[in-house]
Amino acid sequence: MNHVIDTNVLIVASGEHPDSPFLSADHPVDKPEIADKVLQWLSDFIDSNQLLVVDTDDAIRKEYFNKLSEQNYGRRAYIDKYDKGQIEYMALTWEVKEPDWTAELSDKLKVVVHDRSDKKFVAACIESLKENDTNIINACDTDWIDWEDALAKEGIVVEQLINDWVREKWNTK
């Protein structure tokens, strides 16, 4: 299984890693025992042979690096996967390139996925699915729940790492 990882996963994991300068207070997951599940998933992913899916234009990497410093665990995760040659690069079509990096989606998905930043994750997953078993990994962004039915119709699975927590937040919004 290859994975497209939403930046929030890297942020939450960084907040929980003891050597990362990012703090638990810097992300929205308010229960350390829940947030620790995200850190454990990312640690297991780094140690696995699974591939990280990104785009050939580096928009996903740029978002990761913009949100996290060199010392953050989440950023190190990308670097570790890069160093091991475990990154799959997908060529995407863009509605808008820098600075917004809005990927082109089908007409069906364009009206559903309203977050410009998340469109690149969806587009990367769609491209990777043409040849590989690929999903999107989310920790705490409730928008993915809004879109899950439409995404599932297109063959996209969003794995909610802390499913109960994120659905509880989604139900309260």
The reported pLDDT for the residue numbered 22 is 67
Contact 23, 55 (CB under 8 A): no
* Count of other CB atoms within 10 angstroms of residue 18: 6
Cα 119 to Cα 17: distance, rounded to the nearest angstrom: 28
Tokens 């990882």 sit on residue: 5
Cα 123 to Cα 73: distance, rounded to the nearest angstrom: 25
Q: Say whether 125 sits in a helix, a strand or coil.
A: helix
pTM for this model (two decimals): 0.95
Q: Which amino acid is at 88?
A: E
Q: What angle do CA 32, 38, 44 make, to 5 degrees?
A: 130
Cα 46 to Cα 41: distance, rounded to the nearest angstrom: 9
The reported pLDDT for the residue numbered 99 is 82
The stretches in the chain having pLDDT less than 50 are none
Contact 160, 167 (CB under 8 A): yes
Q: Which amino acid is at 81?
A: K
H-only helix segments in the chain = 7-16, 32-47, 59-67, 73-83, 107-110, 116-129, 143-153, 163-172
Q: Which amino acid is at 145?
A: I
pLDDT (tens digit per residue) in 56-84: 999 999 999 999 988 899 999 999 999 99
The reported pLDDT for the residue numbered 31 is 87
